[in-house]
């Protein structure tokens, strides 16, 4: 039930959202397979050395898939990795038999899937156990795990090539670093964007964005277009200078592009910032390929990763500045009873209604109003009245499920949202609460605690406000009958 205090309540909601794996339908599985193959081919066209691409989008695609779909993503991704292994064998004309290629493909699939699956599982566990609490910590966790998992993938991947006889032991030492940096660039730059694409129109996306307090307010599209044009113009200016002077040191000028990229991060929403990073990295890879700047590829790879890391921290800065723990507590939780405030209840309820609509399960709303509360305050004092409110809140906490929402609507009124319960099932909850009220004993109060209830099952497509109005009407009707 949603009545935790402090950061624990926010962390619990974040954990529920980020631990959930989206449903992987056949259509999405096919898209995962096609996406992996297409992205692999794009990266293969931008190789500046054998087995070394400036920027490897399939790495970001793989990590995003495991984060969004969990272990369900393994099968379509494994098919994509096996397919590309056979394709790679054809490109490099390795002359291996089908059996040999199959064995290499299975080893390669294990190496990559294990690495990025492990990274995704660790991030999920960090969320589950409260290690990741908010956006800044999530950024640091993502960057650290992105770097480490891509390092593990490059190490295991080069070992597979060594076992297959594709490269010698001496080649391993020359290709593992560019492999790692290319994978890391793909992970850090593209994973968030790919996650947004995979979660598009899913209830988890809006809940995640709302929970992490990520800005979603866009500026006019032409302003974003101007900023992106400035960024890309400066990028190709750096590429042309590097090509013209034919000196590796000139390539370091690309690091200054962190300034226009941070300009976008501070003035645009998170989605547009992720898009700008993706466009920036793709344009950089195309430019290096067109102007044959492979000798400076490592410089550009490090630039992409550094800029990406800086941008993600840039997204977190407004959150850090705006985050005031005390004000957040006051806005989200009632100081007396510990249940959610009306505003925060409405925010969480909106997420629950969206999920209920998407997964087509029933959801009921309960409103209760303490009987004769004004008389209790006037006769026994406000201190006793406060104890009565706290006792009622404790009863609700004990009688409701962890998945239920409980909030204080106003003075002596409480709201309860019951996901997954129809009206008939919710009526049984009302009976339990009424029975529990009979056992409330408050020092200084010589009369029993009772309440009037208004209960409705929320109709598909019905707004929370409309449901509240119907519940209030039922509550008033119940009071008149007593």
Q: What is the pLDDT of residues 356-398, one digit of tens each?
A: 998 999 999 999 999 989 999 999 999 999 999 999 999 999 9
Token code pair at residue 345: 């209840």
Catalytic residue among 183, 371, 412, 446: 412
Would you tell me the crossing angle of helices 325-332 and 342-359 to the nearest 10 degrees? 70
Q: Report the candidate in 379, 398, 381, 382 with the shortest Cα–Cα distance to residue 440.
A: 398
Token code pair at residue 321: 């500045």
Q: Which residue has the tokens 């594709």?
A: 166
β-sheet bridge partners, residue 456: 365
Would you tell me the crossing angle of helices 270-290 and 221-245 to the nearest 10 degrees? 30
Contact 338, 394 (CB under 8 A): no
Which residues, 6+ apart, have CB-to-CB distance to 375 below 8 Å?
A: none
Q: Report the candidate in 411, 428, 262, 275 with the shortest Cα–Cα distance to residue 337.
A: 411
Which residues, 6+ apart, have CB-to-CB distance to 87 below 8 Å?
A: 37, 40, 41
Local mean pLDDT, 10-residue blocks, the chain (482 residues)? 43 45 81 94 75 82 92 95 87 76 92 95 77 72 92 92 81 84 90 85 58 60 93 95 87 93 86 89 88 86 90 74 62 89 92 91 94 91 93 94 92 94 94 92 89 93 93 87 68
Token code pair at residue 157: 């991947």
Which residues, 6+ apart, have CB-to-CB distance to 265 below 8 Å?
A: 273, 311, 314, 315
Which pLDDT value is given to residue 220? 87
Largest CA distance in the chain: 94
- CA-derived radius of gyration, the chain: 28
Give Cα separations from 341 to 69, 82, 172, 371 (angstroms). 33, 52, 59, 21
Q: Which CATH superfamily is domain 331-481 in?
A: Reverse transcriptase/Diguanylate cyclase domain (3.30.70.270)
Supply angle C-alpha 142, 147, 152, rounded to 5: 120
β-sheet bridge partners, residue 417: 365, 405
Terminal CA-to-CA distance of the chain, rounded, Å? Answer: 30
Residue 249 annotated to the active site: no
β-sheet bridge partners, residue 419: 363
Which pLDDT value is given to residue 255? 94
Which pLDDT value is given to residue 292? 86
Within 105-228, strands assigned E span none
Would you tell me the crossing angle of helices 26-44 and 74-92 to the nearest 10 degrees? 30
- Compute the distance between CA of residue 427 and CA of residue 432 in angstroms, rounded to an integer: 9
Token code pair at residue 184: 């890391």
- The DSSP output letter for 401 is -
Which residues, 6+ apart, have CB-to-CB distance to 335 below 8 Å?
A: 329
β-sheet bridge partners, residue 368: 414, 453
Token code pair at residue 202: 């899913």
Contact 324, 213 (CB under 8 A): no
Q: Report the candidate in 125, 106, 112, 25 with the shortest Cα–Cα distance to residue 67.
A: 125
Q: Which residue has the tokens 């794009």?
A: 42
What global pTM score does this model have? Answer: 0.65
- The structural domains of the chain, with segments of one domain joined by +, span 1-212, 220-290+300-323, 331-481
């Amino acid at each position: 039930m949603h009545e935790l205090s402090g950061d624990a309540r926010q962390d619990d909601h974040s954990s529920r959202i980020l631990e959930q794996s989206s449903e992987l339908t056949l259509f999405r599985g096919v898209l995962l397979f096609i996406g992996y193959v297409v992205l692999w081919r794009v990266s293969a066209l931008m190789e500046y050395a054998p087995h070394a691409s400036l920027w490897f989008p399939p790495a970001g695609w793989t990590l995003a898939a495991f984060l969004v779909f969990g272990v369900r993503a393994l099968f379509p991704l494994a098919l994509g990795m096996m397919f590309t292994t056979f394709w790679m064998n054809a490109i490099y004309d390795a002359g291996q038999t089908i059996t040999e290629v199959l064995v290499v493909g299975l080893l390669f699939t294990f190496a990559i899937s294990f690495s990025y699956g492990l990274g995704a599982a660790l991030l999920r566990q960090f969320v589950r156990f409260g290690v990741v609490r908010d956006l800044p910590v999530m950024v640091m966790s993502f960057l650290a795990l992105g770097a480490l998992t891509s390092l593990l993938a490059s190490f295991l991947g080069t070992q597979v090539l060594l076992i297959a006889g594709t490269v010698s032991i001496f080649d391993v030492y020359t290709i593992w670093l560019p492999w790692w940096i290319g994978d890391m660039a793909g992970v850090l730059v593209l994973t968030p964007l790919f996650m947004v694409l995979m979660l598009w129109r899913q209830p988890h996306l809006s809940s995640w964005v709302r929970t992490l307090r990520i800005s979603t307010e866009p500026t006019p599209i032409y302003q974003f277009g101007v900023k992106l044009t400035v960024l890309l113009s400066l990028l190709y200016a750096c590429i042309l200078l590097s090509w013209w002077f034919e000196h590796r040191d000139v390539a370091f000028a690309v690091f200054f592009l962190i300034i226009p990229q941070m300009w976008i991060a501070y003035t645009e929403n998170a989605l547009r910032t992720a898009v700008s990073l993706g466009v920036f990295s793709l344009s950089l890879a195309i430019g290096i390929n067109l102007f044959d700047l492979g000798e400076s590829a490592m410089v550009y790879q490090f630039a992409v990763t550094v800029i990406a890391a800086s941008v993600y921290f840039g997204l977190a800065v407004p959150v850090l500045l705006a985050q005031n723990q005390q004000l957040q507590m006051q806005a989200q939780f009632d100081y007396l009873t510990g249940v959610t405030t009306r505003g925060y209840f409405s925010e969480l309820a909106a997420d629950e209604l969206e999920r209920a609509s998407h997964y087509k399960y029933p959801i009921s709303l309960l409103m209760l109003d303490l009987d004769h509360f004004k008389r209790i305050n006037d006769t026994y004092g406000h201190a006793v009245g406060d104890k009565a409110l706290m006792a009622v809140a404790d009863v609700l906490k004990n009688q409701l499920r962890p998945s239920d929402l409980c909030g204080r609507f106003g003075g002596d009124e409480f709201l309860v949202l019951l996901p997954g319960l129809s009206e008939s099932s919710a009526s049984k909850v009302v009976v339990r609460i009424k029975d529990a009220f009979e056992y409330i004993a408050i020092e200084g109060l010589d009369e029993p605690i009772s309440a009037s209830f208004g209960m409705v099952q929320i109709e598909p497509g019905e707004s929370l406000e409309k449901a509240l109005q119907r519940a209030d009407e039922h509550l008033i009707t119940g009071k008149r009958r007593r």
